Amino acid sequence: MKPIVIVLLIVLAVVIAGLIFLMIYGRKLQKKSEASQEQMKAGAQSVSILVIDKKRMKLKEANLPKIVLDQTPRYLRGSKVPIVKAKIGPKIMTLMCDEKIFDLIPVKKEVKAVMNGIYIMDVKGLRSNLEVKPVKQKFFQRMKSNLIKKTKT
DSSP labels for 4-18?
Answer: HHHHHHHHHHHHHHH
Whether the model clears a pTM of 0.85, i.e. scores above it, the answer is no
- How far, in Å, are 29, 54, 61, 62, 100 from residue 58 at the CA level? 25, 13, 5, 6, 18
Q: Of the ranges 45-54, 106-115, 135-144, which one carries the lowest mean pLDDT score?
A: 135-144
Residues 6 or more apart from 111 whose CB is under 8 A from it?
Answer: 48, 49, 51, 105, 123, 124, 125, 126, 130
d(CA 48, CA 125): 10
- Look at residue 104 in the predicted model and tell me its pLDDT: 86
Query: What are the beta bridge partners of residue 110?
Result: 50
Can you say whether residue 72 is alpha, beta or left, with left for phi > 0 and alpha for psi between -120 and 50 degrees?
beta
Res. 153 pLDDT band, cuts 50 70 90: low
Query: Residue 30 — pLDDT band, cuts 50, 70, 90?
Result: very high
**What pLDDT was estimated at residue 34?**
94
Cβ burial, residue 50 (10 Å; 0-12/13-18/19+)? middle
Which residues touch 13 (CB under 8 Å, ≥6 apart)? none
**Which residue in 36, 15, 54, 60 sits closest to 117, CA to CA?**
36
Q: Residue 25: pLDDT above 70?
A: yes
- Band of pLDDT at residue 3, cut at 50, 70 and 90: confident
* pLDDT classification of 128: cutoffs 50, 70, 90: low
Q: How far apart are CA 45 and CA 115, in angstroms?
A: 5
**Which range is most confident: 23-27, 107-111, 125-129?**
23-27
